[in-house]
Structure 1
Amino acid sequence: MASLPATSPLASLRLRSPSEWDWIRCLDVALALAALAFILPLLLLVAVAIRSTSKGPVLFIHKRIGRNGEVFGCCKFRTMQVDADRRLAELLERDPQARDEWQGSQKLRKDPRITAIGHFLRRSSIDELPQLYNVLNGTMSWVGPRPIVHSEITRYGHHFSHYCQVRPGITGLWQVSGRSNTSYRRRVAMDVVYIRRRTMMLNGMIMARTLPAVLLQRGSC
């Protein structure tokens, strides 16, 4: 059979073989669908509990920064009061210790914004289960840096370009390495390490460490 002339447009076409990250995307979707089918009764139970214990919607859709710096709606079960911003501003204004804690990690161990059931949902990480929808629509992955808000970009500094290279994850190196028990600076460092060294094997290791971290509530608040 004669070969195509070198000048033929078809001569430059090549079938792109699936990369490691194509396979990871396929696994993301398959695992998300399987997980949703398995935990659907739990999701419905949590939704009923939220609606019956506090005013407001079941889900909280927050603007986050994703891959390539694009903004997307990150889905979570609502764990805060509807006037959470006002409560936070009042606390930071009157409590220097809380203000220092917030500036250091963007977290508060005693957070007045959180509902009664919200504490349980956060400690158990059940509040993050709706992010399976984000995995399905391609704005998140199972493993990656935690999605950040716009005000956190400056904390990443020149490492923000690393953050933008991958999809944010439901779990990641930071989540299985102390989570809220670590400083924000160390969180950024772990995100950079993951992004530079990411492989399917590393993803598998992080996924394997996620369940024990959740069950033992390491670094949760």
Structure 2
Amino acid sequence: MQKDSGRLLLENAAGITLSQVGKRLFDILMSSLLIVCLSPLFIILSVLILFKSGRPVFFLQERVGKNDLPFTIFKFRSMNYSKHNPDRHAYDWKEGVPDHFTFKTAFDETVTPLGRVLRKYSLDELPQLFNVLFGDMSLVGPRPEIPEITTHYTTKQAQRLKVKPGITGYAQVNGRSEIDHGKKIELDLYYVENQSFRLDLRIIWLTMICVVIGKGSF
């Protein structure tokens, strides 16, 4: 009985390792392929941002990744810095992030007209393919939060940090910006507990549909 238990533990450990390696190889292959194929679009969007909004083209921000480790996320700039309020993310929550909290609103005066289009079709997220290639993110996983929010996480909410954050995720194909924080945590934890290559492929397929119709994004 003890020998059988030891064998099962080894098999489970090997399965987890193989799953993680497979996911990482898939991330490297797909992010590299997409960066090459979408390079003309990268150039076009960069020129449009320069022409319409000026510099900088890219928006860099600290986000929180797997195991609560910080990294710099890359995005196409969609905001007007002259209207940016540095205190807009100063929160004073005492008992975790409230379930009713929503990070984005339907109208944000800091977003440029071009930025609204980029956000509607998630084009501002494309530079995160480099985050995936570098290993900070995955193609699929919970969306990375800013540290001003994660520092207030309860033990339950922090469970979403057990896996790499993703460009898209289970919450993104079930409401995107339309859902509140409580629902997002529920969906993210479902993914953490049930992640698989098959689920990732389903999320990627549903993401393409959401992006094409521009549903649920501000």
- Give the TM-score of the pair, scaled to structure 1: 0.82
> Using the alignment, how far apart are the partners of 2:87 and 2:154 within structure 1?
25
> Using the alignment, how far apart are the partners of 1:86 and 1:60 within structure 2?
15
Q: What is the match of residue 115 of structure 2?
A: 118
Match of 1:129 among 126, 129, 135: 126
Q: What is the match of residue 49 of structure 1?
A: 48
Offset, 1:193:
0.6
Larger radius of gyration between Structure 1 and Structure 2 = 1
> Using the alignment, how far apart are the partners of 2:16 and 2:117 within structure 1?
45
Match of 1:176 among 161, 166, 173: 173
2:148 is aligned with 1:159: no
2:63 is aligned with 1:64: yes
- Secondary structure of 1:20's aligned partner: helix
Q: What is the match of residue 198 of structure 2?
A: 201
Offset, 1:18:
5.4
Question: Structure 2: any 5+ residue segments left out of the alignment?
Answer: 1-13, 89-99
- Secondary structure of 2:81's aligned partner: coil
Equivalences, count: 194
> Using the alignment, how far apart are the partners of 1:194 and 1:16 within structure 2?
18
Cα distance per residue 1:39-61 (max 9 Å; x no partner): 10000000000011113300001
> Using the alignment, how far apart are the partners of 2:175 and 2:190 within structure 1?
15
Contact 2:150–2:158 (8 Å) recurs in 1:
no
Offset, 1:17:
9.5
2:81 is aligned with 1:82: yes
Give the partner amino acid of 2:150.
I
Identity of aligned residues (%): 32
> Using the alignment, how far apart are the partners of 1:43 and 1:134 within structure 2?
15
Runs of 4 or more above 3 Å deviation: 15-18
Contact 1:88–1:112 (8 Å) recurs in 2:
no
Cα distance per residue 1:49-83 (max 9 Å; x no partner): 00111133000011000011111000000000113
Sort the Cα spacing of 1:17 and 1:53 in 2 relative to 1 into closer, same or farther, 3 A: closer
Q: What is the match of residue 135 of structure 2?
A: 138
Offset, 1:151:
1.8
Q: What is the match of residue 104 of structure 1?
A: 101
Contact 1:171–1:207 (8 Å) recurs in 2:
yes
Q: Which has the higher contact order (CA 8 A, sep 6+)?
A: 2
Offset, 1:104:
2.5
Give the partner amino acid of 2:211.
V
Sort the Cα spacing of 1:209 and 1:17 in 2 relative to 1 into closer, same or farther, 3 A: closer
> Using the alignment, how far apart are the partners of 1:160 and 1:29 within structure 2?
28
> Using the alignment, how far apart are the partners of 1:130 and 1:111 within structure 2?
22
- Give the TM-score of the pair, scaled to structure 2: 0.84
- Secondary structure of 1:185's aligned partner: helix
> Using the alignment, how far apart are the partners of 1:121 and 1:220 within structure 2?
10
Q: What is the match of residue 6 of structure 2?
A: none
Q: What is the match of residue 187 of structure 1?
A: 184
Offset, 1:86:
2.5
Question: Structure 1: any 5+ residue segments left out of the alignment?
Answer: 1-14, 90-102
